Structures are given as C-alpha cells and as structure tokens.
A = this chain, B = another copy of it.
Amino acid sequence: MCGIVGITDRKDAAQQAYLGLFALQHRGQEAAGIVAAEDGRLNSRASLGLVVEAFPQDILAGLSGDSAVGHVRYATAGDSNLRNAQPLVFDNQHGPMAIAHNGTLTNALTLRRRLEKSGAIFQSTTDSEVIVHLIARHPGPVEKAVVESLRQVEGAYCFLFLTPQKLIAARDPMGFRPLVIGRLGKSWVLASETTALNHLQAEFVREVEPGEVVVVENGRLRSLRVEAAPKKTAMCVFEQVYFARPDSTVFGRSVMATRQALGRELAREMRGVKADVVVPVPDSGVPAALGFSQESGIPFELGFVRSHYVGRTFIQPAQVLRDNAVRLKLSPVREILKGKRIVLIDDSIVRGTTSRRICKLLRSVGVREIHMAVSSPPIVSPCYYGIDTPSKRELIAANNTVEKIRHFLDVDSLTYLSIDGMLRAASAPGGPKPGGYCTACFTGKYPTSIADFTIGEAGRCRGPVAR
C-alpha cells in the first residue's frame, strides 16, 4: 500500500508534505519521498525508511519550493529498490515532472510491452512508470496528456502529478482508493486520508470523485473527467476494516465508528457466547472489542501490554529478538487473564501464524477458554488493487474450513463476521452503499480484469497485511 499527499501555494510546501506523510506513515513504511517545485525546477529526495528517518532537518530544509508532493511506500523487495521509491521524477516534452501513485494498474504489463516495442526504456519495475511514458507521448497541455493517458490504464489508482506550474490529482473511475481535498488558507491539499488534513490543520473540502482529475494552477482548482459517465464504484472495504487510520473519515464514513460497529455486529452474530471478559489484540482489535463489549455487556479488559520498542528500524535486530517477535511485542497480563473465559478480538486473520502464537501466549498465563472473534470475514483471495495480501496458497481461509482454522489456532470457538454484517457496519451512516464496495479479498469477485497481475512484483505498491 502507499500514501500520497500534495500541497500548493505555501512557502514551506515540503515541510507540510512531510507532516502529511507522517500522518500517512501507516500506509507505507518502506520508503518515503518528497518533490518540491521551485522556479521551474523540481527538488526531490527519496530514501528508504520511515519519514522521520528519510528526512533529517537539513535535507528537508533543502527542499524549497511553493508546491510539493510526497509518497510513502510499502513493498516486499528488500533493500536494493530505492530506484522504485516515489515520487518518480523525470524530464519529458512537458518539462520536469513528478508522479506519486497509490494503487495498482491491472493492465500495466500489456502497456509496458507495447511501449517497449515502440522504443520506451524503463528504469524501475513499478507499474507506475507506465503512466509516465504514456504522458510523455501525448503533446500538451499536460493535463490533457494526463487525461488521455489515464483513459488507457485500468485498475486502482490515485495519482498526484507535480510540474513547476501545476498539481494534478486523479482517482480511478471505480474509486478503489481514497483521495481527499483540503484547504489550508490559500493552499490546496490533496491526501489519501483525512487524518493528513487534520495533521496540517487543513479543512476538509470534499473527496476527489471516482473518475475525476483535479488541476490546481495559479491558486485555483478545476475539475476534468477521465470518463463522462460514472462507473459503478468498487471502494475497498479493507480500508475501513484494517488499513486506514481510525481517526480518518474514509469514503464518507468514520473509520473508528466503522470498527466499533464491526464489533457490535460481531457481538450480535455471537449472541449467547459465555465469557468473562472481552480482550482485544492491540492495537488493531481495540475499537471492535470496545464495540463488542458495549453490545454484549461483557467487560472490556486490556489483556496485553504492547511494546513500543518493536519497531521498524534500519538495524537488523538480533536473532533472539526475531525468534521471540510476537512474545516481545505482546506481553499478556497474567492478573487480568488467569482462569478467565475470554472473547479475543482481532480485525482479521491472514496466515494465521501470528494468531496462533498469541493464543499460545494466552494459554501460558492460564486463560481458561478462548473464543476468537474476527471483525471481518475470512480472507480467501489476494488483492490486485494495491494491498499486499500474500498469495492464495498462504491465505489460511482460502485453504481451510473454519473448523480447521479453529483447530490450528487451538481455540475453543472461532467466529468470523459475515459479509453482510461487515458491509452493514461499513456503509451506514455516511459510507457507500453495500454494493459500492470492492470485497474481492473476501469473495474472490474482482471488479476488473486481472489478466496482467503478474507484472512488477517487486515494486508494486502494496500494504503490510502479512500476519
């Protein structure tokens, strides 16, 4: 997964982009980049690591300019892929240009082969580079080249394009990924989530609509469209369930409220469970556990202390630390748990290995019964729209019945939330209608062709769903 942010008409544009990336850090921890436009020139910096690591004070101060775009990225491909870090910067007939992308283009491979045939050269393995070539082949003005190029690509995308004069934002016609518009004084802010607006103390204006291209130039914002008639949307429900920050409003719906509602739905579907306490897997399970407790009346307790020192770091941690990773991250509180029947709440199960270790930890401090409750349905299919789920072979629910998973986890009962329950919680009030969501990872029903999906494994911009 990735996060993107753009801002115009501020002397400290790069600083603001930095704050915005900081707010979006959960969307990508592998690399961070910022490009600022100054006097007809683009100043750029990208680095592996967290935002605070990638941008020491002196580096940030060097990124002068009146507008800027930033990007945080998650990827699987180890340490050598700085070339894949975004924003990508390049020169073409439109002059210098930067591009930041969240999502995955599902016809990138086909387009790449076609472009190479006609003389294109590629520097990275990202699907994002394809759009660059398309734009470079269309004559100006640049926003026209962008719209024409977007008409050739398929899949999930939110794009930010920066030139010395313009900031252009685009969201795909099905609206897979979120992108919002904010106002900060005279500046326009574009960001993946509203939490970035909050961090900048910017005011939320509206979402970029599915299929819309927004152009900011000379302090004014205007709107173009990739497609005349809007398509049926396919907004990613997993943003609500897992990915977005709880303090964001995504697709018009509060994420925190959604997650508490998921817990309440789950409590209704598990009515009658006999338990002494509701315990979340921190931090992701906490809102759903609160909702579950409120609905069920079973007391909420903190059964784990989470270490803040198990972090992502450039330093390879010692082997003994990696061997004990789950134990060191989550420490069970014996006084709370001993002899209890617990409802253990997590937001999802991917491979099942982490959940299993957590349950084993609980047994080691004397928990009597574990009723595992998952505030989303079983994940049965990989995502080809930007989230880094593992292959089908590794997804435990793609290959096992619920009873087999229960047995693998060694719990007394295992309950997943139903798809209907999930969509109810995600939709109302404020969110898209239940039919407006993409639920491919839970249902295997992909809203686009996925024929090309093998391209760009290394650089594809996907998220950390690796549990």
Does A65 sit within 8 A of B, measured CB to CB?
no
Contact stretch, chosen from A103-111, A160-168, A297-305, A340-348: A297-305
| Residue from A12, A56, A307 having most chain B Cβ neighbours under 10 A | A307
Determine whether the beta carbon of B333 is less than 8 Å from that of A256: yes
Contacts of A50 in B (CB 8 A): 309
Contacts of A51 in B (CB 8 A): 309
Contacts of A39 in B (CB 8 A): none
Q: Chain B's nearest CB lies how many Å from the CB of A56?
A: 5
Measured CA separation A40–B245 after assembly (Å):
42
Interface string of A249-288 (1 = CB under 8 A from B): 1000010110000000000000000000000000100110
Contacts of A57 in B (CB 8 A): 316-319
Determine whether the beta carbon of A331 is less than 8 Å from that of B195: yes
Contacts of A451 in B (CB 8 A): none
Does A229 sit within 8 A of B, measured CB to CB?
no
Q: Chain B's nearest CB lies how many Å from the CB of A312?
A: 9
Determine whether the beta carbon of A256 is less than 8 Å from that of B294: no
Does A389 sit within 8 A of B, measured CB to CB?
no
Determine whether the beta carbon of A119 is less than 8 Å from that of B92: yes
Determine whether the beta carbon of A309 is less than 8 Å from that of B246: no
Determine whether the beta carbon of B122 is less than 8 Å from that of A331: no
Contacts of A392 in B (CB 8 A): none
Interface string of A231-251 (1 = CB under 8 A from B): 000000000000001110100
Taking a contact as CB atoms closer than 8 A, the residue among B92, B286, B308 that contacts A302 in the complex is B286
Q: How large is the interface on A (under 10, 10 to 19, 20 to 34, 35 or more residues)?
A: 35 or more
Does A174 sit within 8 A of B, measured CB to CB?
no
- Closest chain B residue to A194, Cβ basis: B334
Contact stretch, chosen from A15-23, A373-381, A397-405, A442-450: A15-23
Contact stretch, chosen from A210-218, A320-328, A432-440: A320-328
Does A120 sit within 8 A of B, measured CB to CB?
yes
Determine whether the beta carbon of A116 is less than 8 Å from that of B133: no
Determine whether the beta carbon of B318 is less than 8 Å from that of A15: yes
- Closest chain B residue to A317, Cβ basis: B52
Q: List 12 A-B contacts (CB under 8 A).
A: A18-B318, A19-B324, A22-B309, A52-B311, A52-B317, A93-B116, A116-B136, A195-B331, A199-B327, A246-B333, A290-B300, A308-B308
Determine whether the beta carbon of B331 is less than 8 Å from that of A199: yes
Measured CA separation A137–B120 after assembly (Å):
7
Does A332 sit within 8 A of B, measured CB to CB?
yes
Measured CA separation A39–B92 after assembly (Å):
33
